Amino acid sequence: MNNNFTFEGKQKSILLSGIGLGIVCMVLTFFMGDHGAVRFWSNFLHNSVFFTGIAYTALFVIAAFTTAYAGWFIVIKRIWEAISLFLVVGLVLMMVIAVGLWMGYHDLYHWGIHGVADVNSETYDALIAGKSAFLNKGWYTFGTLAIVGSWIFFAQKLRSLSVAEDDYTVGDYGIHKKIKVWTAVFLPIGAFTSSAIIWLWVMSVDSHWYSTLYAWYATASWWVSCLCLTILIILYLKSKNYLQGVTVEHMHDLGKLTFAFSIFWTYLWFSQFMLIWYSNVGEETIYFRERMDNYPVLFWGNLALNFILPFFILMRNDTKRKMGSLAIAALVVLFGHWIDFFLMLKPGILHTQHYLPGNHGEAHHDAGGHEGAGHGAEHVSDAVAGFTMPGLLEIGTFIGFLCLFLFVVYTHISKASLLPKNDPYVEESLHHHS
């Protein structure tokens, strides 16, 4: 059994060219000329949030499974460890957004507009002023640094303990006991901080709007994406003759988790939508009104990709045990949740452009005018690539980020054995029957 993955030059060049494609697309997007480079910055935020969150959920699930005495996942644990280490890159990406906020490079957040909390300012907004103790540049920067920084600390701690366990031959499971303590400590920290970070990064693009369920909903979206990426990475590694200890039983379980958590995501989607729709409070329904009117294909497509397709593809026993159907489901759902984050972010960001000085309501229907396509796109019924739907440049940017993500993950995978051979549950995992 070959447990040491070699990250070959050929694989590196493929991924590097993918990253190159992403950079080209981002440069093109930047110079396409929409005012304020809204399209560029929103794509940057969208992909950074998406992949950083996936890394976070990988860390969280290692902690949760370890605390719950799970044995089956040990043979794939190293994949999740590698994914969790992408948090370092994620922090850098999110700091770019934070720096942009300070320097005024972008107007992604309504609350970030200069003077929004100043009663004498042209851009004053009473509601946002009330939230400015939380929604401000300092807290955004500090919160991101402190929270993602603490996640990185735990990710590296757990990784180094896990790798050290490979050479630990004492047989008293001393390192495993340490891992259990660190994972238990991380669980409440991770659970509380992820909510705060989602409010800051994602929910606050619709600065007036709020929903208590939102953070759990976004976390579920990240976690399902993480499962899909895990399935795809494992299938790739298996095709290269690695991970022979990962059998169809483990894939079946990952398929079951994808199936179950797709339904769980839908449950949260439905709960949030139904309660807001039923109560019909204008301040709340505006969130869905905006998306249903201006993003109808994505809005309903979101449900098709993330619920209907995985539900029907993965319901049967055999489709979870056949790698073709499992891979298709994973690809569909991964893309589906990327769309989900597109829908969480873009409409709010575009709407914010109205509030910029000089962009007041009068110019609403002036699509393509001096405010740029982003501003106008919100109000035309046609789909506008990059604004009301992902265009080719968005797909290219996504591929770029995905390749960066995979590059980082494969680099970490290659640095340690694929099998945590001294984990107390490794034999259980190797003989796993679902």
Partner 1 sequence: MSAVVSKIREPLVTGSKTYHQITEDLVGPTEKTPSVEWIIGFIIALSCLGFGVFSIAWTIWFGIGSWDLNRTIGWGWDITNFVWWVGIGHAGTLISAILLLFRQKWRTGVNRAAEAMTIFAVICAALFPGIHVGRAWVVFFFFPYPNTRGPLWVNFNSPLLWDLFAISTYFTVSLLFWYTGLVPDFATVRDRAKGIRKKLYDVLAFGWTGSAKHWQRWESLSLILAGLATPLVLSVHTIVSFDFATSVIPGWHTTIFPPYFVAGAIFSGFAMVLTLMIITRKILNLQDYITIAHIESMNKVILLTGSMVGVAYLTELFVAWYSGYVYEQFAFYNRALGPYWWSYFGMMTCNVITPQFFWSKKIRRNLNWTFALSIVVNIGMWFERFVIIATTLARDYLPSSWSYYVPTWVEVGIYIGTIGIFFTFYLLFTRIAPVVAIAEIKSILKAGGNQYVGENATHHKEHAH
Residue closer to partner 1 (CB basis): 39 or 291: 291
CB nearer partner 1, residue 384 or residue 426? 426
CB 165 within 8 A of CB 171: no
Residues written for the chain: 434
- Do 316 and 301 form a contact (C-beta atoms < 8 A)? no
| Minimal distance, residue 181 CB to partner 1, in Å | 10
Amino acid identity, residue 98? A
Least spacing, CB of residue 71 vs partner 1, in Å? 6
Nearer to partner 1, 293 or 427 (CB): 427
Give 211 or 411: the residue with its C-beta nearer to partner 1: 211
* Shortest Å distance, C-beta 13 to partner 1: 39
CB 218 within 8 A of CB 344: yes
Residue whose tokens read 């449950």: 267
Measuring CA to CA, which residue among 428, 433, 431 is closest to residue 69? 428
Residues 113/123, Cβ–Cβ less than 8 Å: yes
The least distance separating partner 1 from the CB of residue 284, rounded to whole angstroms, comes to 9
Quick one: which of 117, 42, 107, 99 has its CA closest to 358?
Answer: 107
Q: Are 226 and 83 in contact (CB under 8 A)?
A: yes
Least separation, in Å, of the C-beta of 117 and partner 1? 12
CB of 211 to partner 1, least distance (A): 5
Nearer to partner 1, 250 or 375 (CB): 250
Q: Which is nearer to partner 1, 68 or 103 (CB)?
A: 68
CA 109, chain centre distance (Å): 19
Distance between CA atoms of residues 345 and 302, nearest Å: 14
CB of 35 to partner 1, least distance (A): 29
Closest CB 197 distance from partner 1, rounded Å = 13
**Residues contacting 429, CB < 8 A, separation 6+:** 71, 72, 73, 74, 75, 245, 250, 423
Cβ count within 10 A of residue 411? 16
Nearer to partner 1, 201 or 216 (CB): 216
Identity of the residue, 156 or 285, whose beta carbon is nearer to partner 1 in the bound complex:
285
Write down the least CB distance from residue 224 to partner 1, Å.
15
As a whole number of Å, the end-to-end CA separation of the chain is 22
Question: CA-CA distance, 92 to 181, in Å (whole number)?
Answer: 28
Cβ proximity of 432 and 81 under 8 Å:
no
Residues that bind partner 1 (CB under 8 A): 67-69, 71, 126-127, 130-131, 134, 173, 176, 184, 188, 191-192, 195, 199, 208, 210-216, 263, 267-268, 271-272, 274-276, 278-279, 281, 283, 424-425, 427-428, 430-431, 434
Q: Which is nearer to partner 1, 71 or 336 (CB)?
A: 71
The partner residues of 389 in beta bridges, in order of sequence, read 385
| 380 vs 237: CA distance, rounded Å | 45
Residue 389 Cβ vs partner 1, minimum distance, rounded to whole Å: 26
If the CB atoms of residues 131 and 354 are measured against partner 1, the closer one turns out to be 131
320 contact partners, CB below 8 Å, separation of at least 6: 251, 252, 255, 256, 259, 314, 326
Nearest 10 degrees: Cα torsion 266, 297, 400, 150? -30
Instruction: Assess contact for 107 and 353: CB atoms under 8 A.
Output: yes
